[in-house]
Amino acid sequence: MESNNFKLLPSTSPLLRQVCREVKPDDKIEELISALKSICAEHHGAGLAANQIGSDLRIFVLNINAFDVYINPQIIQKRSLSPFFGEGCLSFPNEILCTRRYEEVVIRADNCEEKTLTGLEAIAFQHELDHLDGITMHDRSIV
């Protein structure tokens, strides 16, 4: 069930092309994080970025094995760029694209120590981080 203050925005929303602002200590993010998890689960997503539901903060969730929240995330290192077939997005329902993504990334976030992600988790992290930078999967499409 979507939160009263947040909802999945249409693909035409200008917020999807906006670079999100860094989360500051005084930003209230509890309701946003709850909405990200709820909406992501409701739509069976692998991840969801704040700007996809109406916030301009640098936060996203991944839902691969369990929910992980990333606040002010960044990629420290990238390894093994290759084609990825089958990238989808909750903001572009019923669209599947072929993109180029790194199979392994070293990441960190304000709420997460540096760690290495691989496979689908690495690809989803890159996809959601792109959202926070105003980039969609269409910008990464190789076909």
* pLDDT digits (tens), the chain, 143 positions: 445 689 999 999 999 999 999 999 999 999 999 999 999 999 999 999 999 999 999 999 999 999 999 999 999 999 999 998 899 999 999 999 999 999 999 999 999 999 999 999 999 999 999 999 999 999 999 97
Q: What is the CATH number of the domain that holds 122?
A: 3.90.45.10
Q: Structural domain tally of the chain?
A: 1
Enclosing domain of residue 114: 14-140
Q: Please give the model's pTM, rounded to 2 decimal places.
A: 0.95
pLDDT of residue 143: 77
pLDDT the model gives residue 84:
87
Which pLDDT score is estimated for 3? 55
Residue 116: inside a domain, yes or no?
Answer: yes
Residue 5, φ and ψ in degrees, nearest 5: -95, -10
What does the alpha-carbon distance between residue 99 and residue 122 come to, in Å, rounded to a whole number? 13
Q: Which residues of 5-14 are buried (b: 16+ CB within 10 A; e: fewer)?
A: ebebbeeeee
Which secondary structure element, helix H or strand E, spans residue 90, and what is its range? none
Q: E strands within the chain?
A: 47-49, 59-63, 67-71, 74-87, 97-109, 112-118
103 part of the active site: no
Q: How far apart are CA 65 and CA 88, in angstroms?
A: 18
Separation between Cα atoms, residue 14 and residue 125, nearest integer Å: 22
Kindly state whether residue 127 falls inside one of the protein's structural domains.
yes
The verdict on residue 92 lying in a domain is: yes
In a domain, 4, yes or no: no
Tokens matching residue 41 = 């689960």
Return d(Cα 67, Cα 47) in angstroms, integer.
Answer: 9
| Choice among 2, 30, 103, 128 that is catalytic | 128
Strand order in 74-87's β-sheet?
A: 74-87, 97-109, 112-118
3 within domain boundaries: no
Cα of first residue to Cα of last residue in the chain, in angstroms, is: 35
- Does residue 50 belong to any structural domain of this protein? yes
Q: Please check whether residue 83 lies inside any domain of the structure.
A: yes
Looking at the domain assignment, is residue 7 inside a domain? Answer: no
Q: What is the DSSP letter of 9?
A: P
